[in-house]
A = this chain, B = another copy of it.
Amino acid sequence: MHVFERTIRLEHTDGAGVVFFARYFQLAHEAYEDLLDAIGQSLPADLAAAPILYPIVHAESDYRAMLRMGDRLRVEVTVEELKSRSFRLGYRFMNPAGEDAARLETVHVAVDKATGKSTRLPDELRSALEGA
């Protein structure tokens, strides 16, 4: 499990005074990138030139409690499933009171840029995710 923390900012909120539902996915991706950094598998700065990409083929979120500007958000990222060509991550969002604010998941498939087809996860990434 990887823990990512950050403060909710004005740009995450909307006119209802709470975090806009689509921003949870943005925040989850930030937590995912933070996880990749932590396991030595950072996304390359030049994604357009990367031979293998891991696009998200499914994403979902269950919203349980509001998040407000200034809240210190804690995200626990877990590798829920690791298959030969894909992986699924779970995200538990907790508000400052330690309550569940949301549960998200994202499913990523390894795609070979040259062929446009799915491919096996590189061993190095697989090992790194297994240890996460």
Contacts and interface: CB of A to CB of B under 8 A. Distances in A.
A101 interface: no
A29 B45 contact: no
Contacts of A13: 14-15
Interface stretch (A16-24, A76-84, A119-127): A16-24
Nearest to A58: B62
- The size class of the interface chain A forms with chain B is 35 or more
Of listed A13, A17, A71, residue having the most chain B CB within 10 A: A17
A30 to B, nearest CB: 5
A10 interface: yes
Contact of A15 (B47, B62, B63): B47
A71 B29 CA distance: 16
